[in-house]
């Protein structure tokens, strides 16, 4: 399958990004430490943001970008909060 239009390029790239995001599940399941799992989920969230942006351009639905922006915010908040929780467990977080 050779893509001919811009929309097909974005959909094909989104499919490949989904495959790369699925590769992250191995590290998220088999990571030896908590920080390995947290890093894998963080990279997976970044890939999800990119997938949502590519789908917004590929399917011509610009409101996907709102979801991508909220997802990026929650992804960063999750990474900082859990990495703070693993250090001072029982404190503020």
Partner 1 sequence: MIDAIPMGEQLRFAAIVILVVAGLFFTFVSAVGVLRLPDIYARAHTASQADTLGAGLALAAVALALGWQHATVYTVLLLFFVFITNPTAAHAIARSAAESGITPVTSEPTATDGGERADDGPADSSPNTDGEDGSTGGGGSA
Q: Taking Cα atoms as reference points, which of 47, 60, 63 lies closest to residue 15? A: 47
Among 18, 59, 73, 93, binds partner 1 (CB under 8 A): 73
Interior/surface letters 72-85, b for 16+ CB within 10 angstroms, e for the rest: beebeeebeebeee
Contacts to partner 1 by CB under 8 A: 6, 9-10, 13, 16-17, 20, 23-24, 26-27, 33-36, 38-40, 42-43, 46-47, 49-50, 53-54, 56-57, 62, 65-66, 68-69, 72-73, 75-76, 79-80, 83-84, 86-87
């Amino acid at each position: 399958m050779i893509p001919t239009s811009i929309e097909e390029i974005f959909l094909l790239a989104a499919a490949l990004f989904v495959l790369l995001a699925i590769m992250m599940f191995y590290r998220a399941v088999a990571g030896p430490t908590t920080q390995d799992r947290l890093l894998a989920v963080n990279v997976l969230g970044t890939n999800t943001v990119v997938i949502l942006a590519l789908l917004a351009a590929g399917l011509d639905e610009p409101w996907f970008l709102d979801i991508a922006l909220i997802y990026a915010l929650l992804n960063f908040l999750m990474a900082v909060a859990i990495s703070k929780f693993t250090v001072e467990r029982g404190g503020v977080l």
